[in-house]
A and B are shown apart, each in its own frame.
Chain A
């Protein structure tokens, strides 16, 4: 077994190009598309009906938002940007109300609405507090407001709040969506092309030589699959490490758990690749089917966009037999929702079950077939 692993490792060192390409693709897509840097923070044009709004509490609240970059402009500029598809939506602020102007249906509409609404509510709250003080002069009112701001920034005690999440609620985190989605998607290629040599080595007669040697059949399979698992895992590990320590995505403090709970997904993908290798007749057929399968899996598994926005019952049903769906569920569960291991047992179990079934059927078919 060591001999086979050693040969695989040497081959990998000599020809790491696919691995490098897929790692760079994962990084590129997750980073550039995912907006991990400030330049890609979502830009939203905003127009204030009068200057006091922009200079007041609402304007300040929007300016310091770290989720959305609100750009102040005239009403015409804002509507032009939306009409020209330069912005998904804009916000028109009035004294006691606001309007959300949407050009395209966007997942971010709710988020923007919440931020603006929160700014209005905070202003209302502060105005009511000032009103309750029965102060008369504007200067006195301004002083109280300053004191209030200072008190809020340095509270006497802090309180964490939480809520039970219903099944209909979900959180969209763009960085994690892209990072997890593209990392899991591109890993399918690396793993599959590392399983493929089982087929080519059988065709070339290398396996015949191994069968005639004292090496046992299970050693031949296990060493090949360990190698495939390690290359797939290493690729995602590198991508996550770069995001964690270079770009500074902290995985909400659950980096180690994210890496650990990645294992069932990598196992399921290795098994899927074994199954695919077993059902194709040759390498060209494999190369034709793999992209179709991987892209379809990504589309219905929530790698390219959140599965929660898919309405079609057929696609949702198909996503239930897709390892990528559960892979995303596990990683989002850990890093975005902060779920415990117990709460993630269901998707982890499904991934392990898929892995065992696909591996079993795949190996059976491989052994049955005459090459």
Chain B
């Protein structure tokens, strides 16, 4: 349905996106995962025909979107990263505005506004001015504004940034429902692993403009089939402990945070007693040592040596 072919975007000497290849099939929820600055927003701006690529092509039903953006634009709904709404208008007025720009009028417009308010759970707050809304409600309305013309494809650029867990869950459930009930194709970008894991059938992982992994959740997790992740927690981690872990021959990777260290080792190795000894030598007292099931976060860690939120 939608295909990105060797897509690149270059700003002066810097590649925001480099040779990106992706496809999205009808009715899928596809996740585009990566830390801030990975090039996700640039990629979806090119995909939605808002930004012209430096190289490559975007194809919709096998036709170039760059040459003729209109067919894609008719069926696309865009949820930008920023809350793209009029703060001084009510929720209903905002939806009326975005409905009108899609040439909806009269009873049809009224009906769609009511339906969308129902979907995003803001029927009771329809007459309230947007600037009085909480972050979560604004985000829900931001999604609603992209649903008025009943798009076939919806592109969501980090739609849950900076909101409370309850609103976040509501949004994730809404996206799932739209996909299941309306058959809507969704491209969902995020830097939250758990969201992508929960929602998406297939996942693309980007870092620094490059695509570093792609596949179904299981396929991606299999990248870590030979390794396991161990999380070590202590009150006062010191440089000596971290340095000893890094120098240890059986430890493949060490990621140190304030009170937690994550290490990756071969699956068959039992590290427990070794870790206790290294901690004693470094003079620190461990609070816990957990062996974790691999997550997409661990995959990203494995591929880039950095946590997703770094």
Residues of A bordering B, CB below 8 Å = 2-4, 6-7, 10-11, 14-15, 201, 203-206, 208-215, 370
Contact = CB atoms under 8 A, between A and B. Distances in A.
Given A212-B48, A370-B51, A204 B84 contact: yes
Secondary structure type dominating chain B contacts: loop
B50 interface: yes
Given A10-B89, A11-B89, A212-B76, A205 B98 contact: no
A208 B78 contact: yes
5 contacts: A6-B97, A11-B88, A205-B81, A209-B146, A212-B49
A227 to B, nearest CB: 13
A155 B11 CA distance: 82
A239 to B, nearest CB: 25
A209 B94 CA distance: 12
Contact of A205 (B51, B73, B84, B100): B84
Contacts of B48: 212
A11 B50 CA distance: 27
Contacts of A205: 78, 80-82, 84
Contacts of A214: 74, 101-103
Contacts of B86: 7, 11, 206
B100 A3 contact: yes
Nearest to B99: A3
Nearest to B93: A10
A213 B81 CA distance: 18
Contact of B78 (A203, A204, A212, A370): A212
A7 B93 CA distance: 8
Q: How large is the interface on B (under 10, 10 to 19, 20 to 34, 35 or more residues)?
A: 20 to 34
B145 interface: yes
Contacts of A10: 88-89, 93
A54 B141 CA distance: 79
Interface string B66-99: 0000000110101011111110110001000110
B129 interface: yes
Given A7-B93, A212-B48, 14 more contacts: A11-B88, A11-B89, A14-B89, A203-B82, A204-B84, A205-B81, A206-B84, A208-B50, A209-B146, A212-B73, A213-B73, A213-B101, A214-B103, A215-B101
Q: Which residue, of A15, A211, A212, has the highest number of chain B Cβ atoms within 10 A?
A: A212
A324 to B, nearest CB: 30
Contacts of B78: 205, 208-209, 212
A203 B83 CA distance: 10
A349 to B, nearest CB: 37
A209 B98 contact: yes
Contacts of A370: 11, 51
B25 to A, nearest CB: 22
A208 B97 contact: no
Contact of A14 (B76, B82, B100, B129): B129
A216 to B, nearest CB: 11
Nearest to A213: B101
A146 to B, nearest CB: 71
Interface in B247-285: none
Contacts of A7: 86, 89, 93, 97
A203 B80 CA distance: 10
B47 to A, nearest CB: 11
B153 to A, nearest CB: 11
Contacts of B85: 204, 206
Contacts of B97: 3-4, 6-7
A367 to B, nearest CB: 12
- For the complex of A and B, the 6 pairs showing the least CB-CB separation, nearest first, are A205-B80, A3-B100, A205-B84, A213-B101, A14-B88, A206-B84
A266 B11 CA distance: 38
A170 to B, nearest CB: 46
Contacts of B80: 204-205, 208-209
Q: Which residue, of A205, A206, A209, has the highest number of chain B Cβ atoms within 10 A?
A: A209
A210 B48 CA distance: 13
B89 A3 contact: no
B213 to A, nearest CB: 28
B82 A204 contact: yes
Nearest to B76: A212
A11 to B, nearest CB: 5
Contacts of B49: 212
A282 to B, nearest CB: 13
Nearest to A8: B86
A205 B138 CA distance: 14
A2 B100 contact: yes
A15 B101 CA distance: 23
A359 B88 CA distance: 28
A15 B73 contact: no
A201 B51 CA distance: 17
Interface in B124-157: 129, 145-146, 149
A215 B48 CA distance: 16
Nearest to A12: B88
A209 B51 contact: no
B93 A209 contact: no
A208 to B, nearest CB: 5
A211 B48 CA distance: 10
Nearest to B80: A205
Interface string B43-76: 0010011110000000000000000000001101
B199 to A, nearest CB: 22
Contacts of A206: 84-86
A175 B84 CA distance: 46
B232 to A, nearest CB: 42
Contacts of A211: 50
Contacts of B146: 209
B76 to A, nearest CB: 6
A205 to B, nearest CB: 3
A7 B85 CA distance: 11
Contacts of B88: 10-11, 14-15
A6 B78 CA distance: 22
Nearest to B69: A212
Contacts of B100: 2-3, 6
